[in-house]
Structures are given as structure tokens and as C-alpha cells.
Amino acid sequence: MKTIFITSFHSFISKNILDTDALKILSRQEDLKIIIFVPSHKKDFFNKYYKLGNVIFEGINIRKITNSKINTLFSRISFLLIDSHYLWYKKRERLEKSKSLRGYLKYFFEIFFTKFFSNLRIINKIFRFLDFHFSQKNFFKKYFDIFHPDLIFATDIFNDIDAALLREAKYNKIFTVGMVRSWDNAYSKGLLRILPDKVIVNNETVKEEMQILDNVKGKDVFIAGLPQFDNHFSKGWMSREKFFRKIDLDPSKKLILFAPAGNLLSDTDWQICQILKNALDKKLLPSNLQFLVRNHPGHPASFEKFTSDKNFIIETPGVKFEQESIKDTELSPEDIQHLADSIYYSELVIYVASSIGIDTLVFNKPQIIIDFDGWENKPYIDSVRKYHNEDHMKKLINTGGVRVVKNPEELIFWINKYLENPKIDEVGRKRMMRQQLWKLDGKSGERIAQFILGQI
């Protein structure tokens, strides 16, 4: 009997791994025991939705790791060792909140440190050496002693909790496989603190980023694709009539999906909805349109100022958790399927700073990025414009498969153009597909499972 440890400390792991063939295939191995570590306050959720025969969920008190001062120190340093647009504007945002002598000195020191030390292999090696030897290595000790794992599969290698498990595995000389959870992680999560023995990525783009930014050797990177889309090939769609009844909209009308930025990123999402509603009222858009506004599950936007009507349905997906000061969300299998149905029945998708554009690619639907702040003229550092200059977003936008609109007039223009001819920008969308989806063949989860089994 072999034993694998798997992590699930980010809400997207449910759709990336647990709801895919990756876990299903592993769970069917009679000589394999699977221990999945989850936040302790979510253990019942995972047992409800994802419990399989040889799968055991272990609840972890993540505060012991996140509250560790030495862990926090090395985590902060890691963010100074990657030079990206995202990490630059996060420093600038902190300066805007503290325009004092101390604030300016800290800002310029961090900028200098990043420009001088990032992308230097010797500095990365020194940092990782110090991190490994001085960070705590006994958070998971009792589980190593009880289960004696043969392999560690960290599903979110930039996460500090996953890093803690990888560190202990390395200390105990146990083979490790890590996965890059999302397309933006190489640029937004700091330097990879612990190098796994093997790394699984979605596509060639992320593989190249891991090699350049994090010194991962190409021979140690396995490209699998995006397993969360495999179910689109095996599961049918809810009927149009049933789906529209579910969301309380009219199946005879066309649907547009809007994914707002959410309250952490913007306070003008409601204005975008109001602009769309006003355009409908003034007949600048076809009268047979209706909008499904899908909030981010973790940080929904506020629409208290928006005067809604029957043509706008606002929803916030996910199962909510609150424990002490922790507020978190997980996606159930129903939430995951609902997103797929929502895009499938939409004519086009509009979004602000969201990965929903990649989900939209699966269905080859037109997509529009909102690059303005409603009716407001915000400075760049406070504007949604800065999000679309992030390194990963620029790569996506440069394919020519998505329209970036700078004002309400452009937004209305491109909605009408795409409704008239959804094949506009299809060539660019195919470039986006090659860049982001790699292989869309329904076998990504299978590839991940077989790769892990091969390593064992």
C-alpha cells in the first residue's frame, strides 16, 4: 500500500483537482491511500462532496502556519524577488496609503531591492537555502509519523501552507510533485520558496515562466492542460429552459454574462451594470437582451447603488465559511457546473480582471474586458486599468482574441458588433486557446493522475 499526501487550501482546487478525473483515477487504485489536507473548518464540506473509497480528509489548523513569524518573514522576502507589474503596483498601493517619510523610504528600498536582486540565480539559491534551514519543519509531523507518505502532491506550490508541507517532505527525503494553481501565479505570488522534484503546469506559457522566473528545470516540468474543463466532454448541459428558469430569466431572450472585479479590486462595478441598463432603456442595445452578473465567489461586488430590474440577475456562487476572523468560500460541484452552463448559454462574456476569460475560451465565445471605471476618471493606481497591464493579462490581450474597451461607448459598440457577428476575433481567440488551453481533449485530469502514479 502506497500513500499520497495532497493539499487543498485554495478554493479553486475543488474545480482544478477534486472534481476532476485526477482524483477519480487516483481513488480507484486499490493499492493507494490518499490523504488530502484541508482547512479544519472545511473538512465536513470536503467529506460531503468529494469523499471517495480510499480518500481521507485531514483538517489542518492553518493559523499555526500563517501566524509563524519566520514563515511570514520569508514569505514577504519572496515577493521582493520577482519583478512584475502586479508586485510593483501592490508596493505603490501601500505607498498611497502611507505617504510618510517611512512609507517613501520603504517603497524605494523595496523597488531597489527587487530591481537589483530579482532574477539572480545565486540570490534565489541563497534565499531558498535560508528559508529551508530556518523555517519551521514540523507543522505536519504527526501525519508523516502516522501515514509515512511515499509522495507529496502540492496542488498550489506558491501557497505558504503548501510550501510548509513541501519543506517537511524535503526534510524527510520524500518525493514531491507540485502544481501551479493558476495562470497568474508565477508573476503574482513571489519567488517559489521550495522547488518540488517535479512541477505540473497548464501550458507551455506557464512552463516558460517557471523556468525563467523560478529556476525550474525544463526536464522537471510536466504539461497537463486544464483538468477543470474535462467534464465539459463527459457531462451534458442543462436544458436551456431549465437553466433559464433556474436563474429566473427568459429563455427566449439572449443572455450576456458579466463578471465584475469585486470589492477588493474595484468600487465601480455597479456603474458598469447601470451603464448597461441605461443602454437597454435607451435602445442602444437590442431589447431582447438580459444579463447574468456573476460575482467573484471570494470577494463579491456591492450593487446597493444599482437600480436593477428583471433583465439583471446578480448571483454570488460558492459555499460560505466563517470561523473567527476567517471568511472563505469553496465551490461545490453544482457551482462548477453552473459556471459552465452560464457561459454555454451566453452570447458573450464581459469581465474585469478575471480568469473567466479562460473559461470562456472553451466555448469560443466573444469576450470583452472593461478597462475603465464607470463614469469616474480615476488615477492609474486606483483604476482597473492597472490590472490589465499585469504580465499574464498582457500576454492574453496581445493574442487579439479579446476586445479591451476604454469607455461606455466602446462597450456598447462591441456588444452590438459581437451580437451581429460572433465570429469577429475568432482567429485571435484560437491563438488564445493555443496559449492558455494547450490541449482541450478531456484528458488533462487523466494525464495528471497517470503522471503521479508514474512517479510513485
d(CA 7, CA 189) in angstroms, rounded, equals 17
Q: How far apart are CA 165 and CA 148, in angstroms?
A: 13
CA-closest candidate to residue 161, choices 296, 18, 62, 24: 62
Confidence of residue 452 (pLDDT cuts 50, 70, 90): very high
Residue 1: count of CB within 10 angstroms of its CB: 9
The DSSP element (H or E) to which 126 belongs, if any, is: helix 121-134
Least confident of 61-75, 161-175, 400-414: 61-75
Q: CB 414: neighbour CB atoms within 10 A?
A: 20
Q: What is the pLDDT of residue 236?
A: 74
pLDDT at residue number 298: 87
pLDDT of residue 301: 94
Place of cell 460541484: 333
- Determine the distance from the C-alpha atom of residue 183 to the mean position of all C-alpha atoms in its chain, rounded to a whole number: 7
Residues 6+ apart with CB under 8 A from 174: 144, 149, 150, 151, 152
CA 333 – CA 378 distance, rounded (Å)? 39
- Tell me: the pLDDT tens digits for 355-379? 999 999 999 999 999 999 999 999 9
Single out the residue of 224, 172, 132 nearest to residue 5, CA to CA.
172
Kindly state the percentage of the chain with pLDDT values over 70.
99
Could you give the CA distance from residue 39 to residue 55 in angstroms, rounded to a whole number?
A: 16
Question: What is the average pLDDT score of the chain?
Answer: 95
- Residue 326's pLDDT is 59
Residue 190: CB atoms within 10 Å: 23
pLDDT digits (tens, 9 = 90+) for 190-238: 999 999 999 999 999 999 999 999 999 999 999 999 999 998 877 778 9
Q: How far is residue 200's CA from residue 450's CA, in Å, rounded to a whole number?
A: 12
3-state DSSP helix/strand/coil percent for the chain, to nearest 5? 50, 15, 35
Q: Are β-strands 319-323 and 403-405 bridged in parallel, bridged antiparallel, or unpaired? A: unpaired
The tens digit of pLDDT for each residue in 7-63 reads 999 989 999 999 999 999 999 999 999 999 999 999 999 999 999 989 999 999 988
226 in Cβ contact with 202 (< 8 Å) = yes
Percentage above 90 pLDDT, the chain: 91
Amino acid (one-letter) located at 352: V
Average pLDDT value for residue range 410-426: 98
DSSP H or E stretch at residue 241: helix 240-246
pTM to 2 decimal places: 0.94
Is there a contact between 272 and 304 (Cβ–Cβ < 8 Å)? no
State the pLDDT at residue 64. 87
**Torsion of the alpha carbons at 248, 251, 254 and 259, rounded to the nearest 10:** 30
403-405 sheet: strands from edge to edge: 312-315, 289-294, 254-259, 348-351, 367-370, 403-405
Rounded Cα gap, residues 415 and 348, in angstroms: 8
Task: Report, as an integer, the average pLDDT of 285-302.
Answer: 95
State how far the Cα of 456 lies from the Cα of 450, in Å rounded to an integer.
10
Cell of 278: 441605461
pLDDT of residue 324 exceeding 60: no
| pLDDT confidence of residue 346 | 98
Structure confidence by residue, pLDDT tens digits, 378-413: 999 999 999 999 999 999 999 999 999 999 999 999
The Cα 342–Cα 358 span in angstroms is 14
Give 293's strand partners: 258, 314
The amino acid at 286: P
Q: Is 361 helix (H, G, I), strand (E, B) or coil?
A: helix
Binning pLDDT at 50, 70 and 90, where does residue 323 land? low
d(CA 24, CA 18): 8
